[in-house]
Amino acid sequence: MPLSLILILILAGLVLVLLEVLVIPGTTVVGIAGLGIIAFAIYEGYAALGSVTGHFILLGTIIISVLSLYFALKSNTWNRIKLKASIDGKVNVVEQGKVNVGDEGQSVSRISPSGKAFINDEFFEVHTNGEFIDQETGVVVTQLMDNKIFVKRKI
């Protein structure tokens, strides 16, 4: 195998590995194929051109691989790809005094054992102690614990 073909295979394998690292998430066929092509090219360099040339090919491949990964990661490729939005929402934070034990409301969804209820003109996520409450049933707040509202069926 001529030296030019070996160098083309190494460059093709390196492009596949860079695609795997920078673009394609996870360990996929692309990265494995790139490493396989590089390994095959180095093996062919030793087999076809001798051990001295094979050592130069191996050393050159290692240097080029390290340099290309360094410059690819330094070029802010990650900043162009990564998600810049942040999530600032909160889950069911019950403000003091908005809901009290004994308040009445109506279930909006089936509460089995958690669901939505309309209490004091607001929607809340509510829980029961194992009881199943159908939709559009009257409920009474029985307990407030750690931002959880526990209800039971209104009698």
At 53-89, the pLDDT tens digits run: 999 999 999 999 999 888 887 877 667 766 677 777 7
pTM value?
Answer: 0.52
CATH superfamily, domain 104-153, is Nucleic acid-binding proteins (2.40.50.140)
Higher-pLDDT residue of 119, 92: 119
Per-residue pLDDT averaged across 127-139, rounded?
92
What is the Cβ-side half-sphere exposure of residue 124, based on CA atoms within 13 angstroms? 27
**pLDDT recorded at residue 73:** 78
CA distance 122 to 98: 9
Going by C-alpha positions, the residue among 45, 67, 71 that lies closest to residue 58 is 45
Which residues have CB under 8 Å from 79's CB, separation 6+?
Answer: none
At 39-54, the pLDDT tens digits run: 999 999 999 999 999 9
For the chain, domain boundaries: 3-80, 104-153
